[in-house]
Amino acid sequence: MTKLRDAIVVGGGVAGLAAATALAGAGASVTLLERRPYIGGRAYSYDHPALDETIDSQHVVLGCCTNILDLCQQAGMADTIRWYDELVFIEPNGRRSPLRSSGLPAPAHQAVSFLRASMLSLRDKAGIATGLARFLRGYPAHDTESFANWLRRTGQTERAIRHFWEPVVVGALNDSFDRCSVKYAGKVFHESFLRSPEAGRLGIPAAPLSDFFTPVAEFARRQGVDVKLKSGVDRIDQTADGRWRILAGAEGHTADAVVLATDFKQTKTLLASLPSASDNPDLSTTDFDQFIPAPITTIHLWYDRDVTQLDHAVLLDTRIQWVFTKSRIRRWPAERGCYLELVISASWAELNMNREEILSSALQEFETFFPAAKQAKLLKSGILKEARATFSVTPGLDSFRPQQATQWPGLYLAGDWTATEWPSTMEGAVRSGRLAAGALMGDTTRFMSPETPATGLMSWLSKSP
């Protein structure tokens, strides 16, 4: 495929945009087909007609997310990310434990604030420190052990689990301990708490997600990508001369190569019609069935005044893992009021609850952390349930995550669910698109950004898994 003339990317989510921009930048003529009327895939926002507001499910990045940050830089949108060097944990009694970097070298850059954290006892901290030490040199190369088993094996206290391990893992991997492997939980802690202060910085998009990713689509168009919205693909097949034919409604497209940047459900459907699909052990129906979608529920609240005095916070001992004060993140003027998003990760229970039940419970819990909300006027509220927000990194899943190159010459896969060595994140999606583009061009790592370098003592302690 080194003499690639043209390519079709199916799917205008983060993975598809990454693949399309990489290929176009390498000189290919690229057509991107997206079935929705907007780009971004699961990282999207929409105008809520009843609320007269634009809402989304908040996504974040870390400093270690080098590929999506590079894509943002290329698209000229890096300054639309707000960066934070402090993570505040709040207990229901209002007591706060901020974790922030100090002048100490990694991995001890957060040690001072960690030792002062009132949310944990000395015994809790000793257990956590011992556990984190296991991730100093990296994280497991294999994903067969559950994080629940690791917690038992390392003797973590009940309070350490509730006030440290649980909010981080459930918030980052969107599932329970028994359905998350140590490999990916370890990756979260190694990258965000140990590797370097820069790697663990928290970045929050300061615009609704569809607006946030619009510059990437514009960047793709400037490179010559033909972006076609409302172009759902019904079927793919090969022509007699080895080119690929795509049927999207009444339109047909042909190209030397195709990148399927679709979710695992749609990918399974499109591949099922191809010859010999059942003979490929990496792409069998059984393998696709191993992927489990995990839900996120967000509660959106608009008050007449600021009730948190914080841009974001982690809430402990509650169903709500995180609160984002989006009006502060987006720098709204005070007279515009306060817009909050409460995030419930792994929200299996909420899928079966109605709006009133979710809102009532969330407000009651939220007010225990921020009593000022009781005196403020709640102007309006909304609930957003995303049943397929992410996929669960269950123990053993790596053996079912396919490589980007397939058994069919000229056909490649992208999507955060493919083999990226990352969990279900925007960074994983960008990596998958770039890996697919690289595999198509004959050099898998051609478009990949370098990892965030380890600093301090971690520069010689840290190693690849």
Structural domain boundaries in the chain:
6-43+208-290+394-441, 86-196, 293-391
Q: What does the pLDDT read at residue 462? A: 85
Give the global pTM: 0.95
Q: What does the pLDDT read at residue 283? A: 52
Task: Choose among 273, 309, 269, 261: nearest CA to 288.
Answer: 269
Q: How far is CA 121 from CA 17, 128, 160, in A?
A: 46, 11, 8
Alpha-carbon distance of 76 to 64, in angstroms, equals 19
Q: What does the pLDDT read at residue 273? A: 84
The rounded Cα 322 to chain-centroid distance in angstroms is 15
With beta carbons less than 8 A apart as the criterion, state whether 115 and 98 touch.
no
Fill in the amino acid letter for 231. S
Residue 444: Cβ within 10 Å count: 17
Residue 328: Cβ within 10 Å count: 19
With beta carbons less than 8 A apart as the criterion, state whether 86 and 99 touch.
yes
The rounded Cα 305 to chain-centroid distance in angstroms is 30
Task: Choose among 274, 270, 273: nearest CA to 260.
Answer: 270
**Helix ranges (DSSP H) in 370-414:** 372-375
Alpha-carbon distance of 111 to 115, in angstroms, equals 6
Q: How far is CA 354 from CA 239, 320, 359, 441, in A?
A: 50, 17, 9, 49
Beta bridge partners of 300: 341, 382
Q: How far is CA 178 from CA 164, 185, 218, 251, 394, in A?
A: 16, 11, 41, 46, 8
In order along the chain (465 residues), what is the average pLDDT of each group of 10 residues? 81 98 97 95 93 95 98 96 98 96 96 98 98 96 97 98 98 97 98 97 97 97 97 94 93 96 96 72 64 97 98 98 98 97 97 97 97 98 97 97 95 98 98 98 96 96 70
**In the CATH scheme, what architecture does the domain 293-391 have?**
Alpha-Beta Complex (3.90)
Fill in the amino acid letter for 307. V
With beta carbons less than 8 A apart as the criterion, state whether 326 and 339 touch.
yes
The fold of 6-43+208-290+394-441 is FAD/NAD(P)-binding domain (3.50.50)
The fold of 86-196 is protoporphyrinogen ix oxidase, domain 3 (1.10.3110)
Q: What does the pLDDT read at residue 285? A: 40
The rounded Cα 168 to chain-centroid distance in angstroms is 14
Q: What does the pLDDT read at residue 279? A: 53
Residue 465: cis peptide before it, omega within 30 degrees of 0: no
Q: What does the pLDDT read at residue 4? A: 74
Residue 179: Cβ within 10 Å count: 19
Sign (positive or negative) of CA dihedral 382, 88, 295, 209: positive
**Can you read off the two tokens belonging to residue 187?**
């990756």
